[in-house]
Amino acid sequence: MACLIVGCAHLSGVDDAIRQHALHGFGTTAAGLPKRTEIVASQLVIHADFPLPGQHRLVRELEALRVDVSQTLGLPISDEPVNLYLFETPARYEEFVVRQFPSFPARRAFFVETDTTLSVYAAWQDRVAEDLRHETTHGYLHAVVPVIPLWLDEGIAEFFELPKLEAGLHRAHIAHLAGRRLEGTWWPDLARLEALESAADLSQDHYAEAWCWTHWLLCTTPERRAALQDYLTDLRRDSATAPLSQRLRHAPGLGGDAAAEVVKHLEELAVRTGAH
Ligand SMILES: [Zn+2]
């Protein structure tokens, strides 16, 4: 069974040993999975080991996120279930992760895709809303685009992890990249991001840059948003389709020097959010 663990910003990394363990060990036992409460909310099947009301605000928010992701990215909606396993305490969650993934790095939540399942695991703690928005976005996305470049997978999840009112404006990433620009230690390079293949190789710079390209594509001009939507549509049909960096280079009206345009966009956002 093929298995993919998608790394996230709050992870310290996933190595091949973990991937192999997941490949062979995961799915053979459901020991310790939450099962006290089960809620079906559209595409989501939520399993919790504590009483969770079906009308909980977060449940409704995650349900609404499905349409938001689909409309923003120009993707169809899938009915493939996304399982959310919610543990009442970080201790319960960690106990499960240690048993299922003995060499797993400490992290608050994660998403696992196999040939047959899409699953999110998370603990109910202070930042659970952000974590679930992020991981559930991976679930919705993978249900319709099973193979997606790592940078874009994370850029999109970072975009949607924010409360809806923030409209994808990730202040922490803006401040981080603006700081790098002041130091003179960062310049965007989409081809460099595209070369990343392992979540273990993703640094804070990479997550922030992946978010920044995604925000620039989705929130600046209709042509750029269409370029991202077209790319995702093509990825659904052919995972080996030409990478986005090549498309941006050759498509007229998308900004010419895309990296310079991304820097300009970041500087405007830094001013707007007070990061400068
Ligand atoms: Zn992620």
Question: Ligand 1 center to residue 157 CA distance, Å?
Answer: 6
pLDDT score of 2 more than 60: no
Question: Ligand 1 center to residue 154 CA distance, Å?
Answer: 5
Question: Ligand 1 center to residue 57 CA distance, Å?
Answer: 22
Q: Report the chain's mean pLDDT, rounded to a whole number.
A: 88
pLDDT score of 21 more than 70: no
Question: Ligand 1 center to residue 82 CA distance, Å?
Answer: 15
Q: Which of 12-16, 38-42, 72-76 has the lowest mean pLDDT?
A: 12-16
Tell me the CA end-to-end span of the chain in Å, nearest whole number: 48
Question: Ligand 1 center to residue 11 CA distance, Å?
Answer: 9
Per-residue pLDDT, 48: 96
Question: Ligand 1 center to residue 128 CA distance, Å?
Answer: 14
pLDDT score of 3 more than 70: no
Helix or strand or coil: residue 17? helix
Phi/psi of residue 39, nearest 5 degrees: -125, 130
pLDDT, tens digit (0-9, with 9 covering 90-100), for 208-226 = 999 999 999 999 999 999 9
Per-residue pLDDT, 103: 66
Per-residue pLDDT, 224: 94
pLDDT score of 253 more than 80: no
Question: Ligand 1 center to residue 149 CA distance, Å?
Answer: 12
pLDDT score of 7 more than 90: no
Question: Ligand 1 center to residue 5 CA distance, Å?
Answer: 9
pTM value is 0.89
Per-residue pLDDT, 169: 96
| Mean pLDDT of all residues in 235-264 | 88
Question: Ligand 1 center to residue 3 CA distance, Å?
Answer: 15
Question: Ligand 1 center to residue 276 CA distance, Å?
Answer: 27
Question: Ligand 1 center to residue 66 CA distance, Å?
Answer: 16
Q: Buried b / exposed e across 140-179, counting CB within 10 Å, b at 16+?
A: bbbbbbbebbbbbbbbbbbbbbbeeeeebbbeebbbbbbe
pLDDT score of 176 more than 70: yes
Question: Ligand 1 center to residue 272 CA distance, Å?
Answer: 26
| Mean pLDDT of all residues in 21-50 | 76
Question: Ligand 1 center to residue 103 CA distance, Å?
Answer: 19
The CA distance from 39 to 86, in Å, is 11
Q: In order of start, what are the domains of the chain with their CATH numbers?
A: 3-146 (3.40.30), 164-273 (no CATH)
Question: Ligand 1 center to residue 37 CA distance, Å?
Answer: 25
pLDDT, tens digit (0-9, with 9 covering 90-100), for 203-212 = 999 999 999 9
> Which of 30, 27, 61, 28 is closest to 44 using CA atoms?
61
pLDDT score of 178 more than 90: yes
pLDDT score of 65 more than 50: yes
Question: Ligand 1 center to residue 60 CA distance, Å?
Answer: 21
Per-residue pLDDT, 104: 65
Question: Ligand 1 center to residue 24 CA distance, Å?
Answer: 22
